[in-house]
Each structure stands twice: as structure tokens, then as C-alpha cells.
Chains A and B, each alone.
Chain A
């Protein structure tokens, strides 16, 4: 074997090593004890793959590439080290978008190279290029819209306009039509630019009708898309490494998407197209009468109830993330612990704006891992719980999900806080949750409302509990 054969073989073997490292890394990411090591293995796999690629004969101008990698590394590192844990959903969202953009650019650049070198454009390569542009483009703008919604730049409510579905189908049809035209006459550049533009528009249209509370599903789905986009780019440049890695990410994103949909007992199609939480959806469900009145208490009474309880279950929701109250919550828990109260946390699968959102925030606040309970484990324990403390959660604790067939959240698995002896609800006001329905929990005799921002209220509770 001479040197000219040796190099390509070496590159392929390095790719095989890198792909194995990705698989082992992902496997280890699935278990708490080995997760950190798993992530490092995956990063090592990426390093191996990048170095191997630099040895490719196609690669000649190292300084340009080095500059690009250098700039990207600095920006990526700064972003990763500076981001607040409460902003993680946005961060993941924007990273998904960058990956999608890079994949689309690879497809576009490769098309340009083939076109300008006069290489034959086969139907197969044109199809892969179209797919690369489409998936990458949708991932980019979809992620940017998701980012804008999570960051509060756009309203968290579904954005709708008249004839939205027909319009979306029209755009999709335009894409398919242009694709056929492009496949027949690939050197008509306006059509190619049109395909790029439509891909970007589709990403926007796909994300704007989805409301804030459904973001865990969207973020996971876009995660999957970013993998599929990379795989599509792999088909374009004919590189197995991209295809393998992209497929792995695509699969993991779909698994998470599925778990999130199950957590809401809704199908993916329903999440994507029902504009859940918009006014029409709410109108359908709010017909149920809300008998009874709401009892409001102050921090002093709340502290008494908590301090003299034997067991307290804390139910965090998006409100805790918004108010950045996780550290205050931990402080409250340790004060209660000092008084001999048993404290547990109940985590709903779709609490927050991304999969595992609450777990990350509580981990940041150093809450011991064994105190966190999944929905299935904690639900049987609520009957023996003295006080359930609900912090900025709403729909995930609404008992209507169990019995009110007219409610839009009917059938969604909930944390059964209404089975506890008392429920204290920390909330900014009587506003409805994401689903747009009023929560019948608030009107029960055993429920008490503590109005205010989660952070302020918990700080007050902490100082009151300290005096007990």
C-alpha cells in the first residue's frame, strides 16, 4: 500500500473510531454516573473526526479553515461558559439553528462547486442538495423563532392568521413544484434561490403557531432536525461520518420528542398543528363552571403551614425559571429541613420549556439528586403529604385533566397535588396557564394562594420560616 492509498484508508478508519466514540458517548450520557465521561468521549470523537478530515486531499488552504475554527471556538466557548442556566432552552435552540444553517450552507456550497466546475449534476445529487437545503433551512429559521419566543422577543402565544393551513400547504406545494423544476433545469439559479427562501419561510411558518408551553416538544424536534440536516449534508458531500452522526442525533431527538408528547398525552401532530393555548382552544375548555372562591394567604401564614408540616412536596414550574427562584427554593428547603420537615421535589416531564428543564435548574442550586421525584414515583405519595408547594406551575397540576372531558388538557397526566392535605400555590396572579384554562385546583378548600413573583415570595417565606 503506498502513501496515496494509505491516507484515505486512514481517514475512513478514523471516522469509524469517531463514530464508535459517538455511540459509546451517547450510551453513557444516558446514565447519571457515566454521563460526564460520555460527553467527553463524544467530544473526543468529534476531535478525531475533524483532524482526520483536515488530512483529506481536498483540503488545501489550512489557514482559512484554521481561522474559521478559531473564531467558532472562541464564540462557542464564551457562549457556553457565560450562559445562565435559566437560559438553557434558548441556548440549545440557537445551537440547533447554527447546526442546521451550517448543513444548509454545505449543501449550497457543494451545489455551487459542482455548477462552477461543470461537473455533471445527477438527479441523485440534486435530490440530496434539495433535502439538505430544506431541512437545514427549516432548522435554522424554526430555531430562531423558537429562540425569539423563549427569549420573550416574540409572544409565547401561538401566532395565527386567517387561512394559515391552506397558506402553509400552498408554500409547501410551491417548494415541491420548484424542486421538480430545479431537478430538470439545475442551472436556473433563481429557482435555486427560491428553494432556499421557501425553506427559510417554512421554518418560520412551522414554529410560529406553536405556543410557549409546547416548547419542550419543539426544541426536541428541532434537535432531531439538526441531526437530519447534518445527515442530509452527509449525502451531499458523500461522507459517511456525517450520515452516522446525523442519524444518531436524529434518533435521540425523536425519542425525546416522543417522551415530551407522552408527558402531555398529545400526539405530535396535535402539538404542531393545533395552535394549542390560543384563544379558540381556550374557549372550548373554559365552559366548565368555576364554583367557589379563592383563598389568599400571606407569607407568614404560609411559613407556619410549611414549618409545622411533617412532609412538604415542592412542585416547580416555568414560573420558578422565569423568576430565577431556584436558589431561593433550595434555601427554603434547607430551612424546612432544619425544622425536621421532610422535603421532596415533584418533577413533571414537561415542566418548563425544554426536556429536563427543572432538573437542570435544581441541580444548579445544589438540590440533592435523590430528593427529585418523577411523576409516577411521587403521585402515590401525595396522600401522605401535608403541604404541596406549587411554584409557578399551573396546567401540570390541574385536576380537570383527570375528569373534565371538555377541558383541552383532559387526559394529560398531572401531578396529583390536590390529594395532599393542603396546597399552597405561588403565582403572580389569577392568570391562566399555558393551556388558557382556569385551574380548578385554585378554587378548592384546601388550596391557598400566595400571590407575587416566585423569587420575592420564596425569599419572604425563607425569612419567616427562619423565625419559627
Chain B
């Protein structure tokens, strides 16, 4: 990897972090848990990396590790979004 690629990535990383801080600031305590588990589901984005590394045609250690990563990250993504939805659904019920 070139250093310029790394620097471009760092730009994206730092600016995204600032966006994150601005967007999430001032969350009421009631939503702390859903925010955490929703964000947690997003961290399962590693599934993309896992798909890319395990995409090769032939079996190799890389593909096997990538496949395990796909399973783990998918559990994180699907479980995370569903459990957050379940929680938020309970919150909604009583506001009506």
C-alpha cells in the first residue's frame, strides 16, 4: 500500500469521526442503550472486508479465515439491528 493511500484513508477517518461526534452529541439517557447497540451493529461493517478477502476462487487459509469473519460479522450486524429494533419497539408502545 502506498503512503498516499494511507493518508487519504486518514482524511476520511478523521473527518468521519468529527461527523460522528457532531451527529451523536446530546442523546437522551433513554436512548443510550439503543444507540450503543445500533452503533454496534454498524461496526459489523467488517463483513465487507470479510467478503472481499474470502472472495477468491480457490480454498486457502485466507478464504477460511474470511469465511469465519463473515459469519461473526453477520451475527453482529443482524443481531445488532434486530435487537435494537426490538428495544425501540418497546419504547414506542408506551408513548402512544
Q: A-facing mask of B65-96, CB < 8 A → 1, else 0?
A: 11111111111111111111111111111110
B residues whose Cβ falls under 8 Å from a Cβ of A: 1-3, 5-6, 9, 12-14, 16-21, 23-57, 60-63, 65-95
Q: Which residue of B lies closest to A371 (CB)?
A: B94
Binding-face segment, A72-80, A173-181, A315-323, A434-442:
A72-80
Decide: B42 and A248 in contact? CB cutoff 8 A: yes
Q: Which residue of B lies closest to A263 (CB)?
A: B29
Decide: B46 and A32 in contact? CB cutoff 8 A: no
Q: How far is the CA of A247 from the CA of B20 in the complex (A)?
A: 7
Contact with B94, one of A49, A116, A246, A363 (Cβ below 8 angstroms): A363
Contact with A227, one of B43, B79, B87 (Cβ below 8 angstroms): B43
Q: How far is the CA of A241 from the CA of B30 in the complex (A)?
A: 29
Contact with B55, one of A35, A61, A75, A355 (Cβ below 8 angstroms): A61
Which chain B positions have C-beta within 8 A of A338?
Answer: none
Secondary structure type dominating chain A contacts: helix
Q: Which of A102, A105, A247, A368 has the most CB of B within 10 A?
A: A102
Contact with B33, one of A36, A88, A124, A247 (Cβ below 8 angstroms): A88
Contact status of A81 and B86, CB under 8 A, knowing A72-B78, A110-B53, A369-B95: yes
Which chain A positions have C-beta within 8 A of B48?
Answer: 49-50, 53, 239, 241-242
Decide: B86 and A253 in contact? CB cutoff 8 A: no
Contact status of A245 and B36, CB under 8 A, knowing A367-B94, A369-B94: no
List residues of A (382-430) whose CB comes within 8 Å of B's CBs: none
Interface size class of A (residues with CB under 8 A): 35 or more
Contact status of A366 and B20, CB under 8 A, knowing A80-B79, A96-B40, A105-B72: no
Q: Smallest distance from the beta carbon of A207 to chain B beta carbons, Å?
A: 17
Known: A105-B68, A110-B62, A359-B32. 6 other contacts (CB 8 A): A65-B51, A75-B75, A103-B69, A241-B45, A251-B18, A366-B90
Which chain B positions have C-beta within 8 A of A19?
Answer: 16
Which chain A positions have C-beta within 8 A of B93?
Answer: 366
A residues whose Cβ falls under 8 Å from a Cβ of B: 19, 22-23, 25-27, 29-32, 35-36, 38-40, 42-43, 46, 49-50, 53-54, 56, 58-61, 64-65, 67-69, 71-73, 75-77, 79-81, 83, 85, 88, 91-92, 95-96, 98-99, 101-103, 105-106, 108-110, 112-113, 116, 122, 124-125, 128, 219-220, 223, 226-227, 229-231, 233-256, 259, 347, 349, 354-357, 359-360, 363-364, 366-369, 372, 374
